[in-house]
Structure 1
Amino acid sequence: MKTVFVTVGTTSFDELIERITSSEVTQELKIRGYERLVLQVGRGSVLPAADSCSHVRLEAFRFKDSIAEDMRQADLVVSHAGAGSCLEALGAGKPLLVVVNDKLMDNHQLELARQLHMDNHLLYCTCSTLKETLRDMDLSVLQPFPPRQPKNFANFLDKALGVK
């Protein structure tokens, strides 16, 4: 069963939750072959009931100790533009659609999404363009995110501090 996993991290992004569960967006997901929608809604005020979503099977929760398994099972991850959530999805090797909250002032998240999009690691949109982005998306253009190399940072610190 093709699954979309949506995460807002530890924040609230009710507009994304409302939009992704709207009839027109779930219909677009169904057209694209997705049958299951799993939502991590964070501390938002919207927690949709399982039977509130047309076209796809819906599961929703606020928080878990880890969302790694949800990401692993997903065929597509839709995330808010937080760096932690983006890096977790990219590190899991999943196709990622980032939804930027354009209501935030001085939105540094947009810069991250744009750069990772320019590097062909993810797609991004806003809530108002979510349906069209899902309709037009081509996940085959996405490039795998390079694996983490924590040794590089440790070596940099050692050099900067004069340890090496």
Structure 2
Amino acid sequence: MLELSILGFLYDTPLHGYELRKRITALTGHVRPVAESTLYPAIKRLEKAGLLARETQPGSTAAPRHVLTLTEAGRTELRHRLAEPARGDITDENRWFTLLAFLRHLPDPPAQAAVLRRRLAFLDEPASFFYAGDRPLRAEELDDPFRQGILTIARATSEAELRWLRATLGSLDRSV
């Protein structure tokens, strides 16, 4: 998801590494803080692949800064990753939120809707954190108030997301 975040933030505007790291941390930092030792190798891989370019500009008060810009190949790669996300990008909530943060860069509403439909299908699958044999347990079936809390919070989150997905899909379908 780090590479998707880099491509997504650079899609809008050129950024230097420090500013890019701040934006990625704001998006995912509570879950996965971004260390320089992780960010800069990813930037180098993307640069080597021709997806972004680096330009040295004078710093406002200190040393020169390396400003990163997305190449046309980088824009194409971002749109490809958005249109055809891996299953984990749909099922993992943190990866899903990163994908969702940049889905607006996919210019085709039917393609956006196709991604949302994949998430909707995933959320419609029966699931739980706790099971009795093969049967998913509901919060009301548990004696443990903490596990009840997990299921209650997860249910409320899923219901809110399902409402949003259905409303957004309706809006996207009307825009075609």
Q: What TM-score comes out, normalization by structure 2 length?
A: 0.31
Structure in which a larger fraction of residues adopt helix: 2
Q: What TM-score comes out, normalization by structure 1 length?
A: 0.33
Task: Give the number of the structure whose alpha-carbon radius of gyration is greater.
Answer: 2
Structure in which a larger fraction of residues adopt strand: 1
